């Protein structure tokens, strides 16, 4: 019975999805605040079943505890973000659009670098213009409008996805401060 269950889980598990990173970062952004799957689902505009599937994939990937799925293995997540994220979930800048600042255009990164070229997550109601970066999942722009910490972490993730080495070092350093 146990082997059958394990094989079913492994068959169902087709690898991490981009939104899995967002779910883990959302859990971290909540700090010590108690949460349930429905809370994460509502705040990320993702279905509860997708949150559950995401937590299962993260558990199989060794990024969250396997039993209660409440404790993110922060060092493992950081290791993946720093060394694997840009290979698994790369981003190429797209066309000019209105949107929300991301990557090195986020106000935190603007303190460290100046650039005439801006990156944004596309949003028709966005106040800024720049090259579009595909977010890790469809409703990401809506979710970050209610969580500044999540917004910063996801913008730093985009630095890793599209940035240069010098920019990536600062992004990783700040992510370590936020996650650990």
Q: Are 29 and 153 in contact (CB under 8 A)?
A: yes
The single-letter DSSP state of residue 133 is: -
Cα of first residue to Cα of last residue in the chain, in angstroms, is 38
Phi, psi of 75 (to 5 degrees): -65, -40
Phi/psi of residue 145, each to 5°?
-65, -15
Q: What is the pTM of this model?
A: 0.92
Q: Which has the closest alpha carbon to 18: 37, 43, 38, 46?
A: 46
CB 120 within 8 A of CB 132: yes
With H, G, I as helix, E, B as strand and everything else as coil, classify residue 66: coil
pLDDT of residue 69: 87
- pLDDT for 48 equals 97
Closest CA to 173 of 105, 78, 98, 84: 78
C-alpha dist (Å) from residue 53 to 23, 79, 119, 150: 11, 22, 30, 20
Q: Match 């401060």 to its residue by tokens.
A: 177
Contacts of 124 (CB under 8 A, 6+ apart): 98
Q: Burial code of 30-64, b = ≥16 C-beta within 10 A, e = fewer?
A: beeeeeebebbbebbebeeebbebbbbbbbbbebb
Segments making up each domain of the chain, as ranges = 2-87, 90-179
Contact 78, 180 (CB under 8 A): yes
The list of the chain residues with pLDDT below 50 reads 5, 7-8, 10
């Amino acid at each position: 019975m146990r082997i059958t269950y394990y094989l079913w889980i492994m068959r169902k598990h087709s690898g991490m999805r981009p939104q899995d990173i967002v779910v883990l970062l959302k859990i971290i952004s909540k700090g010590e605040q108690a949460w349930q799957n429905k809370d994460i689902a509502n705040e990320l505009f993702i279905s509860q079943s997708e949150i559950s599937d995401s937590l299962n994939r993260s558990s199989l990937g060794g990024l969250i505890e396997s039993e209660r799925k409440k404790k993110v293995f922060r060092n493992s997540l950081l290791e993946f973000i720093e060394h694997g994220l840009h290979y698994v979930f790369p981003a190429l800048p797209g066309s000019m659009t209105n949107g929300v600042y991301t990557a090195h255009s986020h106000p935190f990164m603007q303190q460290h670098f100046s650039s005439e070229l801006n990156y944004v997550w596309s949003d028709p109601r966005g106040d800024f213009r720049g090259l579009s970066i595909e977010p890790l999942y469809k409703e990401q722009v809506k979710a970050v409008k209610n969580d500044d910490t999540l917004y910063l972490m996801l913008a730093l993730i985009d630095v890793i996805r599209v940035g240069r080495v010098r920019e990536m070092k600062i992004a990783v350093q700040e992510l370590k401060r936020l996650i650990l």
